[in-house]
Amino acid sequence: MNIKKQFTEGLITNNPVLVQLIGMCATMAITTTLFNGVGMGLSVLIILTCCNVVVSAIRKIIPNEIRLAIFVVIIAGFVTIVDLLLQAYIPALSDALGVFIPLIVVNCIIIGRAEAFCQKNTVGASFFDGIFQGLGYTLVLIVMCVFRELLGSGRFGGGLIDIVNGFRFTLDGTGSGIQIFPEDFGASILTLPFGGFITLGLLIAIMQYALKKSAKKKEAAAKAEKEAEEVC
């Protein structure tokens, strides 16, 4: 398996949320501001990569019967480590993401990748799989955050960007974002869980349409080639 193929798989053709349809619960719950999306995406990326490496490293000594129990222990361990480190060294980020970090334990992307990929692949491939699947997840979160925040409350970059005292990035989640249009004109329903369902549904539909179209194009190209061969 080469890295380039893994990259396109993680971000597009086998995107964890839009194609594998896993990890949707947290995706809908947290994508209300850009800060949440980026924070959660990066936390998942780090934990996913660590778990992938460890799982693939010990894949040969794990008995098949108890593999799921072992995966859960490893995942919970890494989540707790990240949680404790954030609390101790980046308390502001920990406050903002406090609720979401423990949620990563039950995020099926991580156990899904351990089961579907790391069990059968080398440590190196699993490491890149963790990074690319994590990036794919982060990308979807960012798209959803931008969409919901902009149409829901007329803002961009809430928590992450502050323009009150000049443009700057706020890593403690206090920035108010850039107000594109007054909040009163926003469809605030989009920032509620209901809006999460709608946005995710739309994204999945667009993704499936694009994937089908590109698959058809490939098919047509293959057919044309074949016909050309026959003519010759």
Partner 1 sequence: MNKILKLTLILFLVCAITAGVLGVVNEITYQRIEEQQRIKTERAYAAVLASDGYEEVPFDQEAFPTVDLINRCTNGAGYVVTTTFSGAQGSITMAVGVDNDYKCTGISIIKHSETSGLGANAASSSEKGVNWRAQFVGEDENVAITKMGGKIDALAGATITSRSVANATGVAIRAVESLG
Site of interaction with partner 1 (CB under 8 A): 30, 32-33, 36, 61-63, 65-66, 69-70, 73-74, 76-77, 80-81, 84-85, 87-89, 91, 96, 98-100, 173-174, 176, 188, 191-192
CB of 77 to partner 1, least distance (A): 4
CB of 50 to partner 1, least distance (A): 11
CB 136 within 8 A of CB 16: yes
Nearest Cα to Cα of residue 125 among 177, 39, 53, 44: 53
Q: Which is nearer to partner 1, 13 or 87 (CB)?
A: 87
Q: Which is nearer to partner 1, 99 or 210 (CB)?
A: 99
CB of 58 to partner 1, least distance (A): 8
Q: Which is nearer to partner 1, 77 or 112 (CB)?
A: 77
Q: Which is nearer to partner 1, 10 or 37 (CB)?
A: 37
* Rounded Cα gap, residues 188 and 150, in angstroms: 10
CB of 147 to partner 1, least distance (A): 14
CB 56 within 8 A of CB 121: yes
Q: Which is nearer to partner 1, 88 or 231 (CB)?
A: 88
CB of 126 to partner 1, least distance (A): 18
